[in-house]
Structures are given as C-alpha cells and as structure tokens.
C-alpha cells in the first residue's frame, strides 16, 4: 500500500540552480526530502530571462516588464495553494513592495509557512546595477512576515536573534555543503606555484578592496597567483591577478585550484548576518582559509586550528605570508577545516534537522 505524498509549495525569488542562497539553503536537500515522502512544487518569482537581465546595468524597461509578468504569476499562484499541506518560503514571495502575498497566504488563506532566510534582509542592501529599482524594496516587511508565519529557520544566531523578536518558533539551520555529491575533492598540497583565491559575485567583490594593499605587499616578496572566481572581473591592477568566470559546471574544479582561500568582511550589521559560505566552500575542499573575525566566522573558526581569523593589515600579511611558506600548516589547517565542515556544516550532518522541521509543519 503506497503512502500518500506530502504536498509542499516552495516559494523562492530566483530560478532553480542559479543563486547561491537557494542552492545551499534548500536545493541540495530536495532529493532527500522527496525520498522521505515530500512532493515539492517549486515556484520562483523570477523566470530565467528576467534573472539574466537583473544584474545588467540599465535595461530598466525590460526589467520592469519582467517584474510585472512575475507579479501577475505570483498572484495567479494564490488560486492553487489550497492543495498544499504547507508552504516553504525562502526570503520573500516578491522582490519588491509590501508583503501582500504573505498576508493573503497567512491571514486570508490560513496556510502554514516555514520561512527561511540567510542574510540580514531587513537591512537596506542592493547592487549598483539595480540602484534605480531599490526604492521599490520594502525592507521592513521581514518583521511582518516573521510575525505571521508558523516557523522560521535561519542561518545563524544573529539572524535568529532578530527573528525571535517577532516569532517564538525559530530554529538555526546553517548554510551547508554537499560533501558527497559536490564538494568532494581535495586540493594538491604539493603545487609549486601557489594560488591565493576568492570566489563570489560582483555584489560582494567590494570586500576585496580590504586586501588589495596586502596582496601588493606580498607580490614584492612572493611569486603567486591571486585567483578571482566571479561573474565579473575585478577592476584592479595586480600582477598576480588571474580571473576565472564563474561556471556552475566547473565550479568545484576551479575552486580546487586555490591553495589559500580568503574571505575579507567589513564589520557591520550586514556582514553579521552572513553565513560564512565562502569559507565553508574553501574548507570543504581542504583549502586553508583566512577570514575576517566577523559574525558567524568567529564560531566557525578556531584560530590556527581549522583556519585563521585576522583583522589588521599586518595580521593579513603575516598570515598569508606564513601560509605561502609553510606547506605543513597549509595541509594541517586545510584538513582540519574539512573535518569541521563534515561534522557540523555538511548536508549529511544537517539533513535530519531539516526533515524534522518539515515534519513539524504537518502537525
């Protein structure tokens, strides 16, 4: 006798397979949840053509048309929500305006919602390419949504503290790494010419400005590459710079070229809400990782054990110089970082917590 599938509507901002926040918050759990009897219907706000336009400068008319089409589809979706046991919502139903969809779902249609977010999305933050559209954002809606939904899962303690001001049912589910199906390689610790590396989108590339002077100093003494894996080449004159355009298919192979991973951050509220994703990617591949002591980085890293926390320019310089010189410490730190991810920040270590939250929504 077959068991009835549990029907879940998954509402998210972006097309599947494109945005890191989705790929590493919930997409890598979908097959597992399906095997546990959940049938998940995914409804992103943006379609692929609109997503492709979103981070290009200008094109205001095309972006507006794409947003209007997406908005009409979102309201039309309300006609079919009755059949679902509950809704999983990542970040927001629509990327602009007040939380009308969320209000209708919770207050009018009385649907249960498991709400997920992994950044301080109640703070003003936008890319330069979409500065014109930023006035349509309704950052305060996160407070309202948090107070309306049944359950909240968020990426770290800082986000959970905010959510707990509006909802008593808050859980921390860290951003995780698939160490079996994806981040399943290990770097070569015997390479002759070493590579310091960073990965991220153009919207976070401004953090690299913090370490450009350190890299210039290092270039005076050491022969190394500085690899940037991103959707856009950085505008900087460094003789060590090597640019690699981010590509999902080659993502792990490209990351595996890095011998020392860096994650500089400024100490502000937005950075406090980040979930150390870059660092987790490096660590999962055995790459020794150097990070700013901001937010969740402080609980992820035990200094000089599974990574390094550095703040001042001299600390950055001395730590990177040491790792360029010491293969022994690169290997020791890298392997300890991999163990940390496996134990605490992997899909395997977290999937039962994820399943428990999904099951709790059926009660």
Residues 344-363 have a mean pLDDT of 96
Q: What mean pLDDT, rounded, does the chain reach?
A: 92
Do residue 158 and residue 252 come from a single domain?
A: no
Residue 182 resides in a domain: no
Do residue 70 and residue 154 come from a single domain?
A: yes
Do residue 138 and residue 161 come from a single domain?
A: yes
Do residue 156 and residue 269 come from a single domain?
A: no
How many distinct structural domains can be found in the chain? 2
Residues 273-296 have a mean pLDDT of 94
Residue 89 resides in a domain: yes
The 3 state secondary structure assigned to the chain is CCCCCEEEEEEECCCCCCCHHHHCCCHHHHHHHHHCCEEEEEEECCCHHHHHHHCCCCCHHHHHHHHHHHHHHHHHHHHHHHHCCEEEEECCCCCCCCCHHHHHHHHHCCCCEEEEECCCCCCCCCCHHHCHHHHHCCCCHHHHHHHHCCEEEECCHHHHHHHHCCCCCEEECCCCECCCCCCCCCCCCCCCCEEEEEECCHHHHHHHHHCHHHHHHHHCCCCEEEEEEECCCCCCCCCCEEEEECCCCCHHHHHCCCCEEEECCCCCHHHHCCCCHHHHHHHHCCCCEEECCCCCHHHHCCECCCEEECCCHHHHHHHHHHHHHCHHHHHHHHHHHHHHHHHHCEHHHHHHHHHHHHHHCCC
Residue 253 resides in a domain: yes
Residue 40 resides in a domain: yes
Q: Rounded to two decimals, what is the model's pTM?
A: 0.89
Residues 17-25 have a mean pLDDT of 89
Q: Could you tell me the CATH number of the domain that includes residue 162?
A: 3.40.50.2000
Residue 117 resides in a domain: yes
Do residue 169 and residue 212 come from a single domain?
A: no
Confidence (pLDDT) at 203 = 83
Express each pLDDT in 222-257 by its tens digit: 999 999 999 899 999 999 999 999 998 999 999 999
Domain that holds residue 52: 6-176+347-360
Residue 181 resides in a domain: no
Do residue 98 and residue 202 come from a single domain?
A: no
Express each pLDDT in 141-151 by its tens digit: 999 999 999 99
Residue 183 resides in a domain: no
Residues 164-181 have a mean pLDDT of 95
Express each pLDDT in 56-109 by its tens digit: 777 888 888 988 999 999 999 999 999 999 999 999 999 889 999 999 999 999
Do residue 168 and residue 252 come from a single domain?
A: no
């Amino acid at each position: 006798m077959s068991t009835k599938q549990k029907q879940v509507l998954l509402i998210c901002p972006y097309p599947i397979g494109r945005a890191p926040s989705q790929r590493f918050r919930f997409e890598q759990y979908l097959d597992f949840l399906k095997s546990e009897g959940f049938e998940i219907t995914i409804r992103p706000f943006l379609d692929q053509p609109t997503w492709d336009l979103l981070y290009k400068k200008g094109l205001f008319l095309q972006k507006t048309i794409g947003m209007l089409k997406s908005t009409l589809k979102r309201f039309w979706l309300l006609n079919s929500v009755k059949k679902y046991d509950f809704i999983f919502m990542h970040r927001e139903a629509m990327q602009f305006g007040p939380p009308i969809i969320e209000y209708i779902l919770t207050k009018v249609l009385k649907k249960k919602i498991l709400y997920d977010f992994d950044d301080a999305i109640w703070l003003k933050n936008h890319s330069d390419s979409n500065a014109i559209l930023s006035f349509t954002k309704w950052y305060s809606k996160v407070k309202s949504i948090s107070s309306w939904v049944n359950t909240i899962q968020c990426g770290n303690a800082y986000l959970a503290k905010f959510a707990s001001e509006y909802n008593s049912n808050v859980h921390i589910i860290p951003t995780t790494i698939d160490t079996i199906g994806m981040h399943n390689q290990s770097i070569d610790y015997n390479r002759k010419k070493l590579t310091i590396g960073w990965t991220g989108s153009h919207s976070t590339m401004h953090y690299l400005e913090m370490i450009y002077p350190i890299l210039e100093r290092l270039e005076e003494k050491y022969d190394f590459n500085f690899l940037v894996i991103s959707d856009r080449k950085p505008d900087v004159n460094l003789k060590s710079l090597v640019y690699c355009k981010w590509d999902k298919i080659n993502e792990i192979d490209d990351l595996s070229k890095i011998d020392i991973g860096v994650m500089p951050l400024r100490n502000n509220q937005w950075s406090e809400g980040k979930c150390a994703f870059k660092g987790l990617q490096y660590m999962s591949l055995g790459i020794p990782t150097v990070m700013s002591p901001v937010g969740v980085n402080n609980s992820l890293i035990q200094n000089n054990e599974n990574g390094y926390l550095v703040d001042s320019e001299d600390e950055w310089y001395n730590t990177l110089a040491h790792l360029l010189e010491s293969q022994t410490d690169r290997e020791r730190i890298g392997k300890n970082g991999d163990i940390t991810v496996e134990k605490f920040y992997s899909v395997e270590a977290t999937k039962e917590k994820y399943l428990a939250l999904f099951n709790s929504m059926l009660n």
